[in-house]
């Protein structure tokens, strides 16, 4: 599995670099190709290894090129994370910091917004008064993007927004007004679609009890976040687009959190018991919580219930391998953090960049 995951990460990285080279939202429209290639690679381990090597070479070359094109020596970079206590953003920020330091020799300071937009706004103001060269921003509230982008623009500091996608109108404003701001992330619609497709790929297409419909529960991340909105919508849409009837038994917010995922699933199981055929979790942290609740009820994974998450945390891929979870979708924190860093360095060196860069998701099953 480790090998497969390494291959997935490497191939996802190649796509991310492609996105970085010419990228705008167009890249998002060819996700399935990427996924297909990865699936094919998973079936043919030898090819996967070759692909991994090729991927690594391409990655190294591209990193070398961007290093030559834009130096990070002496640059001061401020990074604001919405909260440190988030499994996925922990992997992301650690990779981002290491990559910025090791690849570019930049001076990096990473701060914890503790889930509080007012606190984070102060941190941004502090970075601005310290005169950082560029800011990398994972906002607590995506709805604060316009205000923050204006503050940064007034201070003449370029801003790279990550992880929480701003409104399309705000991206258009950056484009039309020539604002030095960009968004680096992934298209959450794709992750939702992949979750639904994983269920459609099961032997009974998710209809375990054969009553002609898939009865599911939905563990929602933070409802203000487009990742949560799109994953909730597109996971189910993949089923209905395939002509499958669905029934939503339960949908509640779990704020991306493992303990809440456990609690919500336990409540749903107590209320709906065997009627639940599929658990959709907007992320793996909540899915890991769901596993605890499902196992406490002695339900049999992949026999009388299915469970899918997003992120491909190590704990989740291990659970999939052990048959304790059906599947997940790789949210490529390596590709995203490297793209964010590459773009930040370019902006700090005064280069013009696109307003949006996306990195593909990849399906992960046994
Ligand atoms: C990830 C979640 C994470 C969230 C934070 C999402 O893209 O899938 O695990 O909690 O970002 O904003």
CB hemisphere CA count around 18 (13 angstroms) = 16
pLDDT reading at 21 higher than 80: no
pLDDT reading at 166 higher than 80: yes
Q: Is 112 helix (H, G, I), strand (E, B) or coil?
A: strand
Q: What is the dihedral of CA 183, 187, 189, 191, to 10 degrees?
A: -130
Cα–Cα distance measured from residue 33 to residue 26, given in angstroms and rounded to the nearest whole number: 13
Neighbour tally for 69: CB within 10 Å: 12
Cα–Cα distance measured from residue 131 to residue 77, given in angstroms and rounded to the nearest whole number: 9
Domain residue extents for the chain:
2-50, 75-186+333-359, 189-330
* DSSP summary character for residue 346: H
Report, in angstroms and rounded to the nearest whole number, the Rg of the chain calculated over CA atoms. 21
* DSSP summary character for residue 221: S
Residue pointed to by tokens 């919405």: 82
Residue nearest to atom 10 of ligand 1 (CA): 256
Atom number in ligand 1 closest to CA 282: 8
Q: State the distance from the centre of ligand 1 to the C-alpha of 256, rounded, in angstroms.
A: 7
How high is the pLDDT of residue 70? Answer: 59
Q: State the distance from the centre of ligand 1 to the C-alpha of 47, rounded, in angstroms.
A: 31
Q: State the distance from the centre of ligand 1 to the C-alpha of 6, rounded, in angstroms.
A: 21
Cα–Cα distance measured from residue 151 to residue 157, given in angstroms and rounded to the nearest whole number: 9
DSSP string, 1-25: -HHHHHHHHHHHHHHHHHHHHH-SG
Atom number in ligand 1 closest to CA 221: 10
Q: State the distance from the centre of ligand 1 to the C-alpha of 162, rounded, in angstroms.
A: 11
Across 8-138, where does the E strand assignment appear?
76-81, 107-112, 134-137
Facing residues of 251 across strands? 218
Ligand 1 cavity residues, CB under 6 Å: 86, 88-89, 163-164, 225, 227, 256, 283, 285, 310-311, 331
Q: Which CATH superfamily is domain 189-330 in?
A: Response regulator (3.40.50.2300)
Atom number in ligand 1 closest to CA 191: 8
Q: State the distance from the centre of ligand 1 to the C-alpha of 152, rounded, in angstroms.
A: 24
Q: What is the dihedral of CA 133, 137, 143, 146, to 10 degrees?
A: 10
Q: State the distance from the centre of ligand 1 to the C-alpha of 163, rounded, in angstroms.
A: 7
Residue nearest to atom 3 of ligand 1 (CA): 88
- By most ligand atoms within 8 Å of CB, the mutation choice from 80, 81, 82, 86 for ligand 1 is 86
Q: State the distance from the centre of ligand 1 to the C-alpha of 285, rounded, in angstroms.
A: 9
Q: No. of H helices and E strands in the chain? A: 13, 12
For 212-265, how does the pLDDT look when each residue is reduced to its tens digit (9 = 90+)? 999 999 999 999 999 999 999 999 999 999 999 999 999 999 999 999 999 999
Q: Do domains 75-186+333-359 and 189-330 have the same CATH topology?
A: yes
- Which class for 162: exposed (0-12), middle (13-18), buried (19 or more C-beta within 10 A)? buried
Rounded to the nearest integer, the mean pLDDT of the chain is: 86
Q: State the distance from the centre of ligand 1 to the C-alpha of 350, rounded, in angstroms.
A: 30
Mean pLDDT of 165-172: 96
Asked if 194 contacts 201 with a C-beta cutoff of 8 angstroms, the reply is no
Atom number in ligand 1 closest to CA 88: 9
pLDDT reading at 8 higher than 80: no
Residue nearest to atom 6 of ligand 1 (CA): 227
Q: State the distance from the centre of ligand 1 to the C-alpha of 211, rounded, in angstroms.
A: 34
3-state helix, strand, coil in the chain (%, to 5): 55, 15, 25
75-186+333-359, CATH topology level: Rossmann fold (3.40.50)
Structure tokens at 16: 């991310």
Q: State the distance from the centre of ligand 1 to the C-alpha of 221, rounded, in angstroms.
A: 8
Helix (H) or strand (E) holding 306, with range, is strand 306-308
For 192-223, how does the pLDDT look when each residue is reduced to its tens digit (9 = 90+)? 999 999 999 999 999 999 999 999 999 999 99
Cα–Cα distance measured from residue 144 to residue 128, given in angstroms and rounded to the nearest whole number: 17
Judged by average pLDDT, the poorest of 31-40, 288-297, 320-329, 337-346 is: 31-40
State percent of the chain over pLDDT 70: 81
Residue nearest to atom 11 of ligand 1 (CA): 163
Helix (H) or strand (E) holding 246, with range, is strand 245-253
Closest CA to 161 of 361, 310, 347: 347
Cα–Cα distance measured from residue 291 to residue 255, given in angstroms and rounded to the nearest whole number: 17
Residue nearest to atom 5 of ligand 1 (CA): 89
Q: State the distance from the centre of ligand 1 to the C-alpha of 283, rounded, in angstroms.
A: 7
For 257-311, how does the pLDDT look when each residue is reduced to its tens digit (9 = 90+)? 999 999 999 999 999 999 999 999 999 999 999 999 999 999 999 999 999 999 9
- By most ligand atoms within 8 Å of CB, the mutation choice from 84, 96, 227 for ligand 1 is 227
Asked if 179 contacts 197 with a C-beta cutoff of 8 angstroms, the reply is no
Asked if 329 contacts 311 with a C-beta cutoff of 8 angstroms, the reply is yes
Q: Is 223 helix (H, G, I), strand (E, B) or coil?
A: coil
- The side-by-side arrangement of strands in the sheet containing 245-253 is 245-253, 213-220, 278-281, 306-308, 327-330, 362-365
Atom number in ligand 1 closest to CA 138: 12
Cα–Cα distance measured from residue 40 to residue 322, given in angstroms and rounded to the nearest whole number: 22
pLDDT reading at 33 higher than 50: no
How high is the pLDDT of residue 107? Answer: 97
Polymer length in residues for the chain: 366
Facing residues of 357 across strands? 184
């Amino acid at each position: 599995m480790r090998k497969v995951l390494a291959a997935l990460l490497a191939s996802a990285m190649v796509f991310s670099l492609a996105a970085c080279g010419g990228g705008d939202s167009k890249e998002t429209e060819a996700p399935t190709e990427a996924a297909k290639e990865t699936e094919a690679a998973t079936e043919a381990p030898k090819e996967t290894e070759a692909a991994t090597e090729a991927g690594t070479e391409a990655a190294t070359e591209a990193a070398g090129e961007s290093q030559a094109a834009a130096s990070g020596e002496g640059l001061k970079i401020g990074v604001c994370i919405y909260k440190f206590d988030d499994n996925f953003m922990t992997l992301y920020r650690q990779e981002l910091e290491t990559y910025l330091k090791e690849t570019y020799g930049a001076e990096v300071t990473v701060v914890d917004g503790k889930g509080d937009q007012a606190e984070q706004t102060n941190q941004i103001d502090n970075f601005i008064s310290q005169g950082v060269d560029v800011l990398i921003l994972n906002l607590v509230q995506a709805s604060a993007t316009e205000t923050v982008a204006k503050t940064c623009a007034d201070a003449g500091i370029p801003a790279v927004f990550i992880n929480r996608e701003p409104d399309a109108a705000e991206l258009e404003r950056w484009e039309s007004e020539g604002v030095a701001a960009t968004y680096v992330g992934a298209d959450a619609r794709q992750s939702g679609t992949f979750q639904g497709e994983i269920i459609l790929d099961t032997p009974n297409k998710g209809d375990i009890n054969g009553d002609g419909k898939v009865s599911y529960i939905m563990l929602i991340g933070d409802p203000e976040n487009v990742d949560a909105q799109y994953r909730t919508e597109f996971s189910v849409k993949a089923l209905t687009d395939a002509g499958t009837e669905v029934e939503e038994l339960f949908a509640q917010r779990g704020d991306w959190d493992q303990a809440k995922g456990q609690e919500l699933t336990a409540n749903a199981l107590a209320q709906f018991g065997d009627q639940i055929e599929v658990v959709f979790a907007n992320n793996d942290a909540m899915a890991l919580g769901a596993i605890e609740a499902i196992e406490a009820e002695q339900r049999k994974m992949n026999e009388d219930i299915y469970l899918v998450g997003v992120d491909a945390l190590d704990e989740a891929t291990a659970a999939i391998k052990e048959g304790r979870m059906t599947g997940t979708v790789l949210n490529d924190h390596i590709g995203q953090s490297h793209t964010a860093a590459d773009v930040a360095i370019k902006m700090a060196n005064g280069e013009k960049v696109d307003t949006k860069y996306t990195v593909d998701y990849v399906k992960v099953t046994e």
